[in-house]
Amino acid sequence: MIAVSIKNLGFKYEKSDTWILKDISLDINKGEITVITGGNGSGKTTLLRCIRALIPNVYKGELVGNIRIFNQDLEEMDPLELVKTIGIVFQNPETQLFSSTVEDELVFGAENICLKRDEIHKRLNSILELTGIEHLRHSNPNNLSGGEQQLIAIAAVLMMDPEILLLDEVLSWVDKDNRSKILDILRSLKDKGKTIIMVDHIEENIRFADGILRI
Amino acid sequence: MKPFRELDPRSKIFYVALVSTLAVLLNKLLPLLILLMGSFIILYLCGGNGINTLYRLRKLIFILVGISIIQSIFNNDGKALIQLGNIMILTDYGLFRGLQFLLRLSVIIVSSSILLTSTNRDLTQGLLQLRIPYEIVFMLLISAKFLPLLRDEFKNKALAMELTGIDFKKVSLEKKLTAYKYLLLPVTVNSLLKSKEMAIAMEVRGFRSMDRRTSFRELKLRIFDYLFIFLSVVLGSLFLIFK
Amino acid sequence: MGDDYIQIGDISFLYKKGKTIFDGFSLNLPGDKISVILGDNGSGKTTLTKLIMGILKPLDGNVFIDRKNNRDLSLGEVGKSIGYLFQNPDHQIFGTSVLDQLVWSNNILGEDREYYTEKANNLLNEFGILDLKDRYPFYLSMGEKRMLALASVMMRDIRYLILDEPTSSLDSERVDILIDKLKYLNGKGIGALVITHDFDFAKAIGHRIFHLEDGRIKDETI
C-alpha cells in the first residue's frame, strides 16, 4: 500500500526567486522507513513541510504538483484528519516543549483531540514505555538534556497515534545514547506498520532505511 | 499548615480577587495594615516566601514618597509637615494618601503572591475549570515560559558582546546606543521566529483543531477549600462592616 | 610557547541550588596544543569554560590566563585573547548580515573600515561562507552559523580558542572543515580547548584528551 504519493511537486517560497523543489515525484510505501538526505538548502525540510501540509497553509509560496496520503488528496484533508494521520517532529526540542512536566506535555495533544480520560491514560502508559521515558514522567522538560527532550517531543507526537511520522533532523542535538534509542523506537514503529520519513544528513543514521531519497 | 499547602488553585484565585477588592474598598490605614498582615500570614501558611516578597516591596517606598509629595502639593487640605516657602512639600493629608496607596498596592502584591505557591499546571487547570477560554489560558502559560527565555537571551547576547571587547562603561553614548540596537534586533527577531515555531508545534498536535478539549486532570474542591472560601467571605464582610 | 597558557588552580564551584560541581579542581592547558575535555551532559564541561573565561567566578582558587589572574581582567580583556564559541551560536550572532557580524564591533569603535572589511572577507572565504556574506544570519543552517561564529572570533587577534560542543549539528563535511581549520590555526600557534562528547572528533584533533566526570578528571588519553 502506498502511504505517500508525490507527483511533480515543486515549490518556491514567497520571497524567493528560486524553486527549492523542482518536479519531485516519489511513492513511499506504508510500513517503510525512508530517509531524505541532501546538502544545506536542498529542500529536505521544505519537502517535509509539503507532506504535512504546512506548505502552503503556514509557509507561503507557489506550490505545484500533487500529494496523496493513503490515496486521499492532501489538500482535501481537514486539520483534524491531518493531526491524526501525519505527525511531525522538528529539529529544535526547545520550541516544541512548553509544559512543566513530561506527563503534561504528552497529554496536551491527546486533550486537544478530545480523547477521553481512560484512552489518554492508556496511550500515555504505552508511549512512555515505548520511548523508555517512564522515569521522566514527572520531570520538568527544561531540565533535561537535548537528547531526552527530543525523546519527549517524539513521544508527544506519538500520542496522536499518527500513521505517518515525519522527522526533521531530529538527531542534531542528540547524543549517541539517545540517538540509538530514537532509532530503536523508529524500528519498533515500523514493525507496527507505521510509515516513517526522516530527514537527516548524517550517513551513519541512514544505514537502516528502506529507501533513500537524495535531493 | 498542610491543608493550606493543598488548597485548590481556584480557592486561591477567589481569595486574591476578594482581598484585592477589599484593598480598594477600605480607606483607613489601620484596616489596610491588618489586611496586609493577614495576607502575609496566609502567604506563609501556603508555603510562600514572605521574606522575599517583603524585600521586593521595599522598592515601593519611592511610590510612597512620590505620591505623598504630589498629593501634598496639589491638594490644599491638611497641615504642612514640611514647607518650602509658600509651597507645602508634605502635608499630613499627602502622607496619608501616600501610605494608603502603598498599603493597597502591597496588599494586592502580597495576596497575589499566593498564586505562585501553586504550580503552573495547577493554575492553568484551575483557570480552565473556571471556564476561562483555553486559548487565553494557554497564552498565559506560554508567556510565563517565554519571558524567562527572553531574559536569558538578552543576558547571553550581552555577555557575548562584552567578550568582543566593547567595554560598555567606556564607550560613548552614541556607540552604546548602536550597540544596544545590535542587542535588541536579534532578540526581537529570534522571539518572533521562536513563537512561530511554537505555534506550529502546538498546531500539529491538534491545538484548536476542535471546538473544545478534554482534560486529563481534574481538580476537586475539598472540605478545607470550602471552609477557606467561607471564612474569607465572612472575614471580608466583617472588614467592610467595621470599616 | 610551550608554557601553560591557562592554569586552573584548585577551584571550587557550586551552583545556587547547592550542587557542588568542582572541589579543588586543577588543570593546566598548554597554549600551543589542542586540549579536549570529554564528558557527558551534567559533568560540568560548560561550567568549566565559563570559569576559565571569568564569566563565572570560582568560590575558591584562581584561574590564570597567560599568568594573569582572570579576576583582575574584564570580560572584554579576556575576549581579546581568548575566542569563546558558545554551544549555541545564536548567542553570539547579532549582525544584520553575515559580513556585518564580523565588522560591527570594529565599526562601532570607529576603526579602519577598509582594513577590517578586507580581513572579514578573507575570513569568510577561509571558512567557506563568503557566498553568504549578505545573508541575514538567522536563516543560516546550524553548520553555517558555527562557521560564522568562528570567523567572527578570529577577527580579533586571539591566542586561544575555547569551543563548546562545536560539532553538534554539523554534517561530516563541515566537521572535516572544522578539523582542518583548528589544525591550521594550531599550526600558527593558536591553542584550543574543545568541549565535546564526540569521541571520534576528539581523537581527530586533540593532543590531549581529558575525561571529565562528576567534577573530576578521570583519565587522560594521548
In a domain, B13, yes or no: yes
| DSSP category for residue B13 | H
Grid cell, residue C65, equals 590566563
Any domain includes B142: yes
Same domain, B82 and B13: yes
Is the pLDDT at C219 greater than 50? The verdict is yes
- Do the chains contact at A202 and C172, CB–CB below 8 Å? yes
Q: Which pLDDT score is estimated for C217?
A: 85
Q: Which of A60, A78, A98 to mutate to test the interface with B (most CBs of B within 10 A)?
A: A98
C78 interaction partners in chain B (CB closer than 8 Å) = 163
- The CA distance from A177 to the nearest CA of chain B, in Å, is 25
Query: Under an 8 A CB cutoff, do A175 and C197 touch?
Result: yes
Residue A175: predicted pLDDT = 67
B103 has pLDDT over 50: yes
Please write the tens of the pLDDT for every residue from A162-180.
999 999 988 766 767 788 8
Position A114 pLDDT exceeds 90: yes
CB contact under 8 A, B171 and C109: yes
> Can you read off the three cell numbers belonging to residue A178?
539517545
Query: By CA distance, what is C84's nearest residue in B?
Result: B163
Cell 515525484 -> residue: A25
Mean per-residue pLDDT over chain A, rounded: 91
Structure-block grid coordinates of residue A67: 500529494
Q: Establish if C221 touches chain B: CB-CB under 8 angstroms.
A: no
Sheet holding C82-85, edge to edge: C82-85, C160-164, C191-196, C34-38, C208-213, C216-221
Does residue C142 sit at the A interface (CB-CB below 8 Å)? yes
Q: Which of A92, A104, A95 is nearest to A170 (CA)?
A: A92
Neighboring chain B residues of C94 at a CB cutoff of 8 Å: 157, 160-161, 182-183, 185-186
Query: pLDDT at position A106, please?
Result: 97
Cell 476537586 belongs to B220
* Of C89, C83, C58, C84, the residue nearest C170 (C-alpha): C89
pLDDT confidence band for A108 (50 / 70 / 90): very high
pLDDT in tens, B72-84: 777 777 777 777 7
Whether B43 and B104 map to the same domain: the answer is: yes
- How many angstroms separate the CA atoms of C126 and C180, rounded? 11
CB contact under 8 A, C92 and B157: yes
C78–B175: do the CB atoms touch at under 8 Å? no
- Rounded mean pLDDT of C58-79? 91
Which residues, including other chains, have CB under 8 Å from residue C120's CB and lie 6 or more apart?
C99, C102, C103, C151, C155
Residue A191's SS3 state is helix
Q: What is the 3-state secondary structure (H, E, C) of A45-110?
A: HHHHHHHCCHHHHCCCEEEEEEEEECCEEHHHCCHHHHHHHEEEECCCHHHCCCCCCHHHHHHHHH
Say what the pLDDT of residue C186 is.
94
Same domain, B159 and B192: yes
Provide the domain limits for residue A198.
2-214
Lowest mean pLDDT among B39-53, B59-73, B229-243: B59-73
Per-residue pLDDT of C154-175, as tens digits, reads 888 899 999 998 987 666 667 8
Q: Which of A110-114, C39-43, C75-79 has the lowest mean pLDDT?
A: C39-43
**Quick one: average pLDDT of B88-108?**
85
Helices within C10-165 (DSSP H only): 45-53, 75-81, 98-108, 113-126, 142-153
Q: Say whether residue A158 is in contact with chain B using an 8 A CB cutoff.
A: no
pLDDT at B226: 94
Report how far Cα B25 is from the mean position of its chain's Cα atoms. 19
Same domain, B224 and B114: yes
Looking at the fold, whether B43 and B112 belong to one and the same domain comes out as yes
What spatial distance separates the first Cα and last Cα of chain C, rounded to whole Å?
20
Across the interface, whether the CB atoms of B121 and A100 are under 8 A apart is answered yes
Q: Do the beta carbons of residue A172 and residue A179 sit within 8 Å?
A: no
Chain A nearest CA to B141, separation (Å):
8
Q: What is the ipTM of this complex?
A: 0.92
Q: Are residues B82 and B10 in the same domain?
A: yes
Interhelix angle B61-74/B92-112, rounded to 10 degrees, is 150
Chain-centre distance of CA B20, in angstroms? Answer: 12
Q: Which residues contact B144 (CB under 8 A, 6 or more apart)?
A: B120
Output the average pLDDT for chain C. 86
pLDDT reading at B214 higher than 80: yes
| Sign of the torsion angle spanned by Cα atoms C47, C49, C53, C57 | positive
Q: What is the mean pLDDT of chain B?
A: 85
Residue with grid cell 491638594, as numbered in its chain: B75
- Helices B50-57, B29-45: inter-axial angle, 10-degree rounding: 140
Quickly state the pLDDT bin for A56 (edges 50, 70, 90): very high
Do A28 and A190 contact (CB within 8 A), yes or no? no
Contact at CB, C172 and A176, closer than 8 angstroms = no
Residue of B58 and B78 predicted with greater confidence: B58
Q: How far apart are CA B218 and CA A98, in angstroms?
A: 20
Residue pair A172/C169 in contact (Cβ under 8 Å)? The answer is: yes
Neighbours of chain B (3+ CB pairs under 8 A): A, C
Residue among B22, B146, B29 at smallest CA distance from B98 = B29
**Cβ–Cβ < 8 Å for B162, C94:** no
Going by C-alpha positions, the residue among A106, A53, A44, A105 that lies closest to residue A83 is A53
Angle A30-A31-A34 (CA atoms, 0-180°, nearest 5)? Answer: 85
Whether pLDDT at C41 is above 70: no
CB C116 within 8 A of CB C103: yes
- Segment B112-126 shows an average pLDDT of 89
Which residue has 529536505 as its cell numbers?
A44
Q: Which of A54, A70, A88, A97 is nearest to A198 (CA)?
A: A88
What is the predicted pLDDT for the residue at C204?
Answer: 94
Residue C86: C-alpha distances to residues B89, B241, C50 (Å):
54, 62, 10
Domain count across chain A: 1
Q: Residue A139: what pLDDT?
A: 92
The alpha-carbon gap from B175 to the nearest alpha carbon of chain C, in Å, equals: 6
Q: Angle, to 10 degrees, between the axis of helix C172-187 and the axis of helix C142-153?
A: 10
Judge: domain C4-221, CATH 3.40.50.300: yes
Please tell me the predicted confidence (pLDDT) of residue C104.
82
Hey, are the CB atoms on C41 and A203 less than 8 Å from each other?
Answer: no
> Pairing between strand C68-69 and C60-65?
antiparallel
Whether the predicted pLDDT of C1 surpasses 50: no
- Please say if the pLDDT value at position B216 is more than 90: yes
The answer to whether the Cβ–Cβ distance between A175 and C171 falls below 8 Å is no
Instruction: Let me know if residue B212 belongs to a domain.
Output: no
d(CA C47, CA C56): 8
Least CB–CB distance from C79: residue in B157, B163, B178: B163
Q: Residue C16 — very low, low, confident or very high, per pLDDT cuts 50/70/90?
A: low
B32 and B26 Cβ atoms separated by less than 8 Å:
yes
**Amino acid (one-letter) located at C152:** S
SS3 category, B170 = coil
Both B137 and B114 in one domain: the answer is no
User: Which residues on neighbouring strands pair with residue C35, listed in sequence order?
Assistant: C193, C208
Residue B55 lies in domain: 2-118+220-241
Mean pLDDT, residues C136-164 taken together? 86
Task: Tell if the CB–CB gap between B205 and A160 is shorter than 8 Å.
Answer: yes
In this prediction, residue A112 carries a pLDDT of 95
Whole-number percent of chain C with pLDDT over 70: 92
Between A72 and B62, the higher pLDDT residue: A72
Query: pTM for the complete prediction?
Result: 0.78
**pLDDT, position B65:** 82
Chains near C (3 or more Cβ pairs under 8 Å):
A, B
Nearest CA in chain A to C170: A172
Grid-cell match 580583556, residue found: C77
pLDDT tens-place string over residues B165-200: 777 667 777 777 877 887 788 888 878 888 888 899
Q: What are the chain C neighbours of A175 within 8 Å (beta carbons)?
A: 40-41, 197
Q: What is the pLDDT of residues A8-29, one digit of tens each?
A: 999 999 988 999 999 999 999 9
Rg (CA), chain A: 17
Q: How many domains does chain B have?
A: 2
Residues of chain A with pLDDT > 70, as a percent, come to 96
Task: Verify whether the Cβ–Cβ distance A98 to B210 is below 8 Å.
Answer: no
What is the 3-state secondary structure of C38-57?
ECCCCCCHHHHHHHHHCCCC
Residues 108-147 of B with CB under 8 A from A: 119-121, 141-142, 145
Alpha carbons B24 and B17: distance in angstroms, whole number: 11
**Displacement of CA C38 from its chain's centroid (Å):** 15
For B140, name the nearest residue in chain A, comparing CA atoms only: A98
The answer to whether residue C94 neighbours chain B at the CB level (below 8 Å) is yes
For residue A52, the Cα-to-chain-centroid distance in whole angstroms is 9
